Amino acid sequence: MPTIAHIIYIPAILLFGIAIGFRLGAKAARNELERRERERRK
């Protein structure tokens, strides 16, 4: 039987990983859009 620490720790780490991934992905998408816009202007 998992302890209460597992019940709290595992979902917390998963949510933390999702949040970090979302932030990094959004930053990469913004950078790509800016790069494409600069290339289009040339």
**pTM of the predicted structure, to 2 decimals:** 0.70
**In whole angstroms, how far apart are CA 33 and each of 9, 17, 41?**
36, 24, 12
pLDDT, averaged in runs of 10, over the chain (42 residues): 88 97 98 96 84
pLDDT at residue 42, as a whole number: 77
What's the rounded Cα separation, in Å, for the pair 38 and 35?
5
